[in-house]
């Protein structure tokens, strides 16, 4: 697995990471901690060191799971976690006191002395971002965190944050179906020398081709509440996936590999989420794929941003 520098730092991260949200309850249906830990271990074996979690995933379960998985393996991993959402996504918190409380709780659950990359999960509209980042910078000074990042921040917020402390990474949803950041936010990320980390490169599994109808979603699957997965949009979006499947077959790869390779060709570090070893091993092969300019142009026609039916949230 190729390694790249995180932003303007000397920290080397894998060119693809592992998103862990789906390994916790209340997200994508049934979970199995033992299988999830095997998947994390296999990711490390395959050269993936960027492991992405958050305190709100499973209300702490996800961080505890990663802590267990990294016992005796800390030196192999770059741990990225986030703060900002309260339990069950009930509020957005960015007050300095909240930041300092959140990091200590994350460190305890992860059973770690420090976090490699600490993200603000969402910008708190009621707290100036300068105050939040100031508290995050204090964590760096205290040795609790190495590098800082933002998640789903806009261009103005990114610039303001950087006046307080350098931001190493920006994490956003980015896929063939979610390209709204290309006009304004991505140029800002490149201007500041940040790493762009792309979550949901398979549009929360829709582009994987595993879903063919709304009823395929488990009753407790959060995607049942997202617009793109609603019955009125579902079949139209499946039709787009079918076109992607045709192109993938021609090129001798799976649709997930094609979609992940696209995000990498766009300069992002994708963190496709999976809780199963077989899907992880399939996804990793995307790192070996080099798409041509002709391939990228064709994908723009097959799946333009305007084609997807329904908003992200």
Return d(Cα 158, Cα 154) in angstroms, integer: 6
- Beta carbons of 245 and 255 less than 8 angstroms apart: yes
Quickly list H helices, 46-95. 61-69
- Beta carbons of 30 and 69 less than 8 angstroms apart: no
Mean pLDDT of 135-149: 98
Asked if the 3-208+255-290 domain carries CATH number 3.20.20.100, the reply is: yes
26 pLDDT exceeds 80? no
> Angle, to 10 degrees, between the axis of helix 277-284 and the axis of helix 255-265?
50
Structure confidence at residue 106 (pLDDT): 98
Q: Which of 57, 119, 147, 199 is catalytic?
A: 57
Active site residue 57: yes
Return d(Cα 79, Cα 76) in angstroms, integer: 10
Structure tokens at 275: 């809780």
195 pLDDT exceeds 90? yes
Structure confidence at residue 61 (pLDDT): 96
Question: How does residue 65 score in pLDDT terms, banded at 50, 70 and 90?
Answer: very high
47 pLDDT exceeds 70? yes
Quickly list H helices, 175-230. 185-191
- Beta carbons of 269 and 117 less than 8 angstroms apart: no
- Beta carbons of 26 and 222 less than 8 angstroms apart: yes
Structure confidence at residue 214 (pLDDT): 56
Torsion sign across C-alpha atoms 235, 236, 240, 243: positive
Structure tokens at 250: 């021609």
Across 14-28, 118-132, 237-251, least confident range: 237-251
Strands lying side by side in the sheet with 195-199: 18-19, 50-52, 78-83, 115-120, 145-151, 169-173, 195-199, 269-270
Nearest Cα neighbor of 68 from 43, 34, 116 is: 34
233 pLDDT exceeds 90? no
Question: pLDDT per residue over 155-182, tens digit each?
Answer: 999 999 999 999 999 999 999 888 889 9
Structure confidence at residue 242 (pLDDT): 81
Tell me whether residue 181 is exposed, middle or buried, using C-beta atoms within 10 angstroms of its C-beta: 0 to 12, 13 to 18, 19 or more.
Answer: buried
Q: 101 or 300: which carries more pLDDT confidence?
A: 101
Question: How does residue 225 score in pLDDT terms, banded at 50, 70 and 90?
Answer: low
């Amino acid at each position: 697995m190729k390694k790249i520098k995180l932003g303007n730092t000397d920290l080397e991260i894998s060119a693809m990471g592992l998103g862990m949200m789906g390994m916790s309850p209340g997200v994508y249906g049934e979970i199995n901690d033992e299988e999830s830990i095997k998947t994390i271990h296999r990711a490390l074996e395959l050269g993936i060191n960027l492991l992405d979690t958050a305190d709100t995933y499973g209300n702490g379960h996800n961080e505890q799971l990663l802590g267990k998985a990294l016992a005796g393996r800390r030196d192999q991993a770059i741990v990225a976690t986030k703060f900002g959402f309260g339990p069950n996504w009930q509020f957005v918190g960015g007050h300095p006191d909240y930041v300092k409380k959140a990091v200590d709780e994350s460190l305890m659950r992860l059973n770690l002395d420090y976090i490699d990359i600490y993200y603000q999960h969402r910008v708190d509209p009621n707290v100036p971002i300068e105050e939040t980042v100031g508290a995050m910078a204090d964590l760096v000074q205290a040795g609790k965190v190495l590098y800082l990042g933002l998640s789903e921040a806009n261009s103005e917020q990114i610039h303001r944050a950087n006046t307080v402390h350098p931001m190493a990474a920006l994490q956003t949803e980015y896929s063939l179906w979610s390209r709204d950041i290309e006009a304004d936010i991505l140029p800002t990320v490149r201007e500041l020398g940040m790493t762009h980390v792309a979550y949901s490169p398979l549009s929360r599994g829709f582009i994987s081709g595993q879903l063919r109808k709304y009823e395929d979603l488990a009753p407790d699957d959060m995607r049942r509440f997202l617009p793109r997965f609603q019955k009125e949009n579902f079949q139209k979006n499946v039709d787009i996936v079918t076109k992607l499947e045709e192109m993938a077959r021609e090129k001798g790869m799976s649709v997930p590999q094609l979609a992940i390779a696209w995000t990498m060709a766009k300069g992002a570090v994708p963190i496709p989420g999976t809780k199963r070893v077989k899907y992880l091993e399939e996804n990793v092969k995307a790192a070996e794929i080099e798409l041509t300019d002709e391939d990228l142009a064709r994908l723009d026609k097959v799946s333009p941003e305007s084609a997807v039916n329904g908003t992200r949230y």
